[in-house]
Amino acid sequence: MSNEKTTHFGFKNVPVEQKQKYVGEVFHSVAAKYDIMNDLMSMGIHRLWKRYTIEMSGARPGQSILDLAGGTGDLTMKFSRIVGDEGQVVLSDINSSMLNVGRDKLLDHGYAGNIEYVQANAECLPFADNTFDCITIAFGLRNVTDKQKALESMTRVLKPGGRLMVLEFSKPTNPGFEKVYDRYSFSVLPMLGKLVTNDSESYRYLAESIRMHPDQKTLKHMMRKAGLDRVDYHNLTGGVVALHRGFKY
């Protein structure tokens, strides 16, 4: 009998050391059309979820912000304006294709001076202890192999008093709505993926990964276990998405 450790990649079980490669292939495939698909999949509502995250972040001029799994830079763009010339935003992603798309997009929009780009794994962040005033990870935690290890890594690089914001798909609070959402996720999303990116399988994985992600209360417990205090969460769009927030003391 095999002792090989496995984890989930969507609904499949895969060897732990292989998940990062499989997730990487998904995002290399979808990077170029990622923004278009986000707008189509959420009917533009992802912009409101991200705006709420910015408002709850408490970001101020002069601060240091880490936009982890920051992809195409939506949050980085807004944080860059808030922290100003005296502050710094680090856009970090494990996937080089996503990071390149984000960097090109930000440069095209005239963002340069206060943004740094770092390819990094959330489980072992290459930053010193107590570096950032705020860390955001939007729609990225569910793709991490060891989520608890990643939360602990994020907590380590937060400054005392700093906050971690986790914006992620979660569990809808209304059972009737959950059924409609399931039908949409497993029928419409792969079809959109096929039409826009010629890749239905990557979007099937994304739908499956949402179902395998810890629910609101479980993630709250995990954040507390990682050493964060005053952890709370806010359900958005009926719990389709939840914003979790915790503070380091």
Q: Residues annotated as binding site for S-adenosyl-L-methionine?
A: 72, 93, 121-122
Cα four-point dihedral sign 87, 47, 236, 10: negative
CA distances from 105 to 55, 95, 102, 207, 209 (A): 23, 16, 5, 26, 27
Angle (CA) 203 52 101, round 5°: 45
- Give the helix, strand, coil percentages of the chain, each rounded to 5: 50, 25, 25
Annotated binding site: 72, 93, 121-122
> How many whole angstroms separate alpha carbon 30 and alpha carbon 36?
10
CB 99 within 8 A of CB 129: no
**Would you give the distance in Å from CA 69 to the centre of its chain?**
5
Question: If you search the block for the tokens 């029928």, which residue do you land on?
Answer: 187
The amino acid at 55: E
